Chain A
Amino acid sequence: MFSKKGRNIFRTLSFRLTIWYTFVFLLTFSLALSFIYHQIAVFDLENIDADLKNEVQEFSFFMQQGGVALVQKQIEYESPEISSNFYRLMTTDNQILTAVNIDKFQSVAVPLETLRTLKSSGRHLIQTVLTPNRKDGFRTVYAYLGSDYIFNMGISLKSHEEFLAFVRNMAVLLMMPLTIMAACFGWLLARQAMKGVEDVTLTARQISTGSIEKRVSVRQRALEIDELSNTFNHMLDRLESMIKSIREMSDNIAHDLRSPLTRIRGIAEMTLINRDSIENYREMAASTIEECDKLISIINTMLEITEAEAGTSPIRTEPIDIPGLIGYACELFEPIAQEKGVQITTSLSEKVTIDSNKNMLQRLVTNLLENAIKYNRPNGSVSISAAKQDDRVRIQFEDTGIGINEEEISEIFERFYRGAEVRSETGSGLGLSLAKAIVHRLGGRIQVASALNKGSVFTVVLPVSPRADP
């Protein structure tokens, strides 16, 4: 992945997913950490406050037991060596009676404002005094001892601050490895998720170098990936069958074009070698034209089939009188039918008009009619019926011909397919393919039912008006 040339890693989905994952992880982690940090800070401060209150209670107790003298004595026990706290006993008019450790704290002047608040509330008051240098900040309590004295005590916040600083440092220290871990984990997850996509890409790449039969394996990964793989495989199946049919078709075309070309070449060569009479030269020219016409006809029909199948250009439609169109076709083909001794009968509804393409319909009808006559038995018959059913028209061509055997029935609409029984008849093997392509282009369908040696029925069902987008 990293080694792939010409691929910018920063533009990969995996990379973006990793970045997102890491970012979201860090955000969540930071939020959680700040919350915990805050909780710790509050908790630690509450502990300090609890200590302060305990001390207040203790000294209140001393006050009750031994009056101000005991209190003073107890305060003096708190020697600077063992305690980092300061103590102070004041009268209500701000006369300091005893003070211990006060020198360790700067700016511990008694704030008059505080005393006033204390006097109005009458209870103890806990405050945080912060100095510009946070480490020298302290938590302090003011409380009445009896009604004449005010007890003031402060606990340095130094250890509290140090503890919090430690927690902060720990968090920052943790952040680095966690970020890296999150990124790695995110990368792994993203790679895992993208693995399926890469399989598809890999298969596509293999296919573009020629092996169309390759498929992406569907391994029950994520549903989306499986769906992608399945869709991709379906597309490949379709492509493969199309390529196969195109290959077959070009083989067939090559074969069908080669035969007339061989005849042209052969006759021309023989004529030249034999230095024949002018009559033979005429014969050569005439047969060349005939063969060329055959070739042109095959090529044109192929193009028509391709155009109808591709359905790219819109079809021009006009109202078409179906009985009229069929009747005219029968009239045109009557002499051919006569030659073969085939009777054409029609059973056409009075008036069936559909919106369709005249050229295509004419070709469709004559192709089916021609087949019905050509592959009929002598003195056989062809009956054509057309009737409207709801918003469709059903046209049926029934013949008493040789029929189509079951194995061949699925093949007869294939291009260049010619039944074993009829190879001797002239024809390109494109008539039914074109008929089918036309019917599909016009939004209808074509079916065939056949009994060997009894006859076939071709049924065409067409919409009365073409679908907006077939």
Chain B
Amino acid sequence: MVQVHKESTTMRLLVVEDDEKIAFFIVQGLRQAGFAVDHVDNGEDGLHMILNEPYDAAVIDIMLPRTDGLSVIEGVRSRGITVPVLILSAKRTVDERVQGLQAGGDDYLVKPFAFSELLARLQALIRRSSGLSNPTRLQVSDLTLDIHTRKVFRAGTRIELQPLEFSLLEYLMRNAGQVVSKTMIMEHVWDYNFNPQTNVVEARMCHLRDKIDRKFEPKLIHTIRGVGYVLKEGT
């Protein structure tokens, strides 16, 4: 199944994944998120596509028929193509990760994964590769956050946040409109390894919400049960 989109304004992604159902939900989700997505189910076609089409990013599974994912990535890199690559793998050991990144992958996601995490990582990769600088001042609706002064205002009112609440809000605002999962918060915001089944994130989010949303309208932080949180205007 190869579909080539010609629009130049939308971001073009390639998904190389042989599991039909996984590929289906990734492609579906990415299209809903506004990407133009091509999908191939083997390494050989994957390599061919990346070499011939200007993709903004690629999602490549490690275990692939014909040519495996690592070889595809190595093939791509050996030809000097710097397209950001997100590796998907069922293997979760540190060695596997290192191997994947050494082959030239830019990020590594272990199955099973949350789609929202895949999306967030992909967007981060694209942002990084397109050289967009991180803004120092974030704004969503009437909520503003200044990274340098570490001041947060909601509707002109200064809101005092604890450091952990601040970093959490910063992450939510950077990914405004995107769902972020609990594991993403654990790994990317707090960089701490704890049992993901604890409600550490929930409890913290509850405090943050208290400060950001309780006295204000519209509510900005929304919980998507089972998936994570999203910061956006409206429901």
**Residues of A with Cβ closer than 8 Å to B?**
282-283, 285-290, 292-294, 296-297, 300-301, 303, 307, 313, 316, 328-329, 331-333, 335-336, 338-339, 358-359, 362-363, 366-367, 370, 426-428, 431
Contact = CB atoms under 8 A, between A and B. Distances in A.
B197 A297 contact: yes
A363 B95 contact: no
B112 interface: yes
A303 B92 contact: yes
Contacts of A335: 200, 203-204, 206-207
A329 B226 contact: no
Nearest to A338: B203
Contacts of A431: 195
A282 B225 CA distance: 9
Of B190, B193, B206, B224, which is in contact with the most chain A CB atoms at under 10 Å from its CB?
B193
Contact of B94 (A316, A336, A338, A370): A316
Interface string B24-64: 00000000000000000000000000000000000000000
Contacts of A427: 197
Contacts of B225: 282-283, 286, 289-290
A328 to B, nearest CB: 7
B129 to A, nearest CB: 28
Contacts of A290: 225-226
A285 B226 contact: yes
Interface string B195-235: 11111100110110000000000000000111100000000
A366 B192 contact: yes
Contacts of B204: 332, 335
9 contacts: A296-B112, A332-B164, A332-B194, A362-B192, A362-B194, A367-B195, A370-B195, A426-B197, A427-B197
A287 B225 CA distance: 8
Contacts of A332: 164, 190, 192, 194, 200, 204
B93 interface: yes
Contact of A336 (B192, B199, B224, B227): B199
Given A332-B204, A335-B207, A336-B203, 15 more contacts: A285-B226, A289-B225, A290-B225, A296-B112, A313-B94, A313-B95, A328-B192, A329-B192, A331-B164, A332-B192, A335-B204, A336-B199, A362-B193, A363-B194, A427-B197
Interface string B173-207: 00000000000000000101111111110011011
B75 to A, nearest CB: 28
Contacts of B197: 293-294, 297, 426-428
Given A288-B226, A300-B92, A293 B195 contact: no
Interface of B: 92-95, 112, 164, 190, 192-200, 203-204, 206-207, 224-227
Contact of A339 (B93, B190, B194, B203): B203
Contacts of B199: 336
Nearest to B223: A286
B94 A297 contact: no
A358 B187 CA distance: 13
Contacts of B226: 285-290, 293
B33 to A, nearest CB: 18
B49 to A, nearest CB: 31
Lowest 6 A-B CB distances belong to which pairs?
A289-B226, A335-B203, A366-B194, A286-B226, A286-B225, A362-B193
A370 B198 CA distance: 8
Contacts of A366: 192-195, 198
Contacts of B192: 328-329, 332, 362, 366
Given A335-B207, A336-B203, A370 B194 contact: yes
B200 A292 contact: no
A152 B36 CA distance: 133
Nearest to A366: B194
Contacts of B194: 329, 332, 362-363, 366-367, 370
A328 B194 CA distance: 12
Contacts of A285: 226
